[in-house]
Amino acid sequence: MSNKRLLGKTAVITGGGSGIGRAISLLFAKEGAFVHILELNTERADMLTDEIQASGGQAQAHVCDVSNQQSVLEVMARINTVDILVNNAGIAHVGDVEHTNETDFDRIYTVNVKGAYNMLYAVVPRMKKQGAGAILNMASIAALVGITDRFAYSTSKGAIYAMTLSIARDYLHHGIRCNSISPARVHTPFVDGFIAKNYPGQEAEMFEKLSKTQPIGRMAQPDEIASMALFLCSDEAGFITGNDYPVDGGFVKLNN
């Protein structure tokens, strides 16, 4: 008998082509799930799908902008069962409220908050019909503690934290579990990208500085977030819903 933890499950992972989403897609496929990767970046999603299939896993890439409800509904119409939804796609912005203009704020809100809502709007009814489902939202330590210069991003992740509770409460008696993970800094293209954009010429110094903000002394690797995601989306976590799990190298509780 196989001991794969997601055998026979179908998972939908947004932003699955890079960083944390990529690590989750690879691990879920390795554990037997059929993985649907919803991505803005087709090239990355196609490459990952090829990689998963080459190692004997099952995956399909879908071009999708999660911030656009029509795009989400069109993609989801092509997918039948959804046992697991991982709302992972997200973008960053650096700035306090005085350095966050309306365009910045709308962009962050539309992808990080409305994107998760669009996915839930499409997926929850079918999980309800199935009487089962596991949903995982990617929040952030920015939802839990005050982080300098992350006004719009923190606001969006606070919304994800609350959205998790709302879904968990409303669908408690429909067999749907909903949890979130709050990573501290994870070494992904997301982090490299915002360092390059916001601190040009000081990349190495900023990388070191950001690494040290985790009391453990480094950033997480994407795999370390994926292993928590696997547990929370597996049947082993059947008694867990409505909770947030910081995977943070001590960031929230030990930074004193």
Ligand X SMILES: NC(=O)c1ccc[n+]([C@@H]2O[C@H](COP(=O)([O-])OP(=O)(O)OC[C@H]3O[C@@H](n4cnc5c(N)ncnc54)[C@H](O)[C@@H]3O)[C@@H](O)[C@H]2O)c1
CB of 143 vs ligand X, minimal distance in Å: 9
- Cβ proximity to ligand X: between 6 and 119 the closer is 119
- Cβ proximity to ligand X: between 65 and 83 the closer is 65
Contacts of residue 249, defined as CB under 8 A and 6 or more positions apart, other chains included, come to 184, 214, 215, 216, 217, 218, 219, 220
Compute the C-alpha angle 72/75/80, nearest 5°: 115
The dihedrals phi and psi of 178, each to the nearest 5 degrees, come to -140, 125
The catalytically annotated residue of 109, 121, 153, 245 is 153
CB of 174 vs ligand X, minimal distance in Å: 25
- Cβ proximity to ligand X: between 133 and 222 the closer is 222
CB of 202 vs ligand X, minimal distance in Å: 18
Site for ligand X, rule CB under 6 A: 14-15, 17-21, 38-41, 44, 64-67, 88-91, 111, 115, 138, 140, 183, 185-186, 188-191
Q: Is 153 a catalytic residue?
A: yes
CB of 87 vs ligand X, minimal distance in Å: 8
Tokens coding 101: 């203009």
- Cβ proximity to ligand X: between 120 and 239 the closer is 120
Show which residues are catalytic: 153
